[in-house]
Amino acid sequence: MRKVLLSMRVTEADSYSEYRNSIAYEYIEFLESLGFLVILVPNNSNVIEHYFDEEIDLVIFSGGNNVDPSLYNGNTNLDDVYPERDKTEKKLFEIAIQQGVKVLGICRGFNAINVFLGGSVTHKVKGHVNKDHNLISNRADLNNQITNSFHNQAITKYDLVGWGKAELLAISEDGFIEAVTNDERNFLGIQWHPERQQQAFDRKLIQNFINGEL
């Protein structure tokens, strides 16, 4: 089976002080249905490099939490920020680049890739929380597809930095970037959650990305 490293969000127990690494069941179900063996990467690990001791086919940055705005000189105070997660994902990103492993960012994970490349994030986006919308794309397999939306931070063309000759695969009706890849096709960012809807076009997009057919 192909192996994927999957980052996790940080959660806190309500009734007592305890930080937790967590991931929604849907990620595991979706990725296993695509033929992946999922390897979860905790945010408090000090041996990130050893997750690459075996051959890894893909690294995925999952959704949840916010990227620390201090990483891109943001001046907005955000909650749900955990520097240990940013540190973990940045280390995964650096090693993936060194070893030629593809990286997929989902929702918050897309924001993280963009920040690691030197870009920024737009805050307080309206009309994108728990709302479905259509994709606008030059690609027949993406155009007019309906996707979910669970975010109030997003990427505009002004935020997008470091992707080389970036190809915007899809935008939202109000102009935010919904999917983008770089000219080398080793990074892919999508703003929606494919694991929550599990549509055929999601599977095709990710499989094409992995197989170098994007």
The answer to whether the beta carbons of residues 153 and 163 sit under 8 Å apart is no
Res 117: pLDDT: 97
Q: Would you give the end-to-end CA distance of the chain in angstroms?
A: 21
| Mean pLDDT, rounded, for 131-158 | 95
Res 16: pLDDT: 82
| Mean pLDDT, rounded, for 117-141 | 93
pLDDT category at 124 given cuts 50, 70, 90 is confident
Other CB atoms closer than 10 Å to residue 174's CB: what's the count? Answer: 12
Res 177: pLDDT: 98
Residue 33: domain span: 2-210
Q: What angle do CA 32, 90, 17 make, to 5 degrees?
A: 80
Q: What is the CATH number of the domain that holds 24?
A: 3.40.50.880
pTM above 0.85, yes or no: yes
190 closest CA partner among 111, 133, 96, 89: 111
Predicted confidence (pLDDT) at residue 120 exceeds the cutoff of 80:
yes
Q: Among residues of the chain, what percentage have pLDDT more than 90?
A: 89
Give pLDDT tens digits for 77-114.
Answer: 889 999 999 999 999 999 999 999 999 999 999 999 99
Give pLDDT tens digits for 13-51.
Answer: 888 889 999 999 999 999 999 999 999 999 999 999 999
| Mean pLDDT, rounded, for 158-168 | 96
206 dihedral zone (left: phi>0; alpha: psi -120 to 50; beta): alpha
| Domains: count for the chain | 1
